[in-house]
Amino acid sequence: MICIIDYGVGNLFSLKSSLAHLGLDAAVSADPADIRAADRLILPGVGAFGDAMAKLEATGLVPVIKEEAEKKPLLGICLGMQMMNTYFLVAEEAERRGWDGPLLALFEQMKKERYMFTEPVDGHWDGHITRDNVDRFKHPVHVTPGSRLERLTGKQTILGASMHNYRITHPARSLTVAARTDDGTIEALEYGEQMLGVQFHPEADDQNDELFRAIL
């Protein structure tokens, strides 16, 4: 079973419907027991970055997600990838500073210090992706040679459908860039063999089901 982590952000049931289209069993849940019982995890997300971070922290699920992501595959989609990167950035900064307080508090402190987790980007297709309009959001995504993403997809270039106004400024040291667009925007990050984040929306493209199935 795939658990779509419910922290109050994202079009969760549309994502569940896309998984059902692939014949895959999925549940939308904020229950730690469901997260622990799942074979795979999806961290979705759309909307405001800071608000999503606060909502995820408020659920109390971060330690459970971190623990389970060491044991089973986790896929972060769109804002979910950005949050994955931010978690590692803040955790790395906490280690550097010797910070022993909540990571969310350090995140807020870093924002006050004008740390740039993401930056505005033009031309990345502001709008809402659906299965009916997905083609106009597609663009080439160049996969890093030797990356886990390349092994999963068997491709060096894929067509990804992206819709975002912000992009990651720099990846956490613990993460590896697995794909970029022509303008250098990071489209995929990975952590070992377990965690993969993609900026594009594989669940929206029913003409390319094999891509979504491959990266789950």
Rg of the chain, C-alpha, whole Å: 16
The residue type of 11 is: N
CATH homologous superfamily of 2-215: Class I glutamine amidotransferase (GATase) domain (3.40.50.880)
Q: Given pLDDT bands bounded at 50, 70 and 90, which one contains residue 190?
A: very high
Q: Is the pLDDT of residue 134 over 90?
A: no
- Specify the pairing of strand 138-143 against strand 176-180: antiparallel
Half-sphere exposure at residue 48, Cβ-oriented, CA atoms within 13 angstroms: 4
Strands (DSSP E) found in 26-143: 26-29, 40-43, 74-77, 118-120, 138-143
Distance CA 95, CA 38 (A): 30
Catalytic residues: 78, 201, 203
Question: Tokens 């009916």 correspond to what residue?
Answer: 132
Q: Is the pLDDT of residue 114 over 70?
A: yes
| pLDDT per position as a tens digit, 53-108 | 888 888 999 899 999 999 999 999 988 999 999 999 999 999 999 999 988 889 99
Backbone angles phi, psi at 141, to 5 degrees: -120, 120
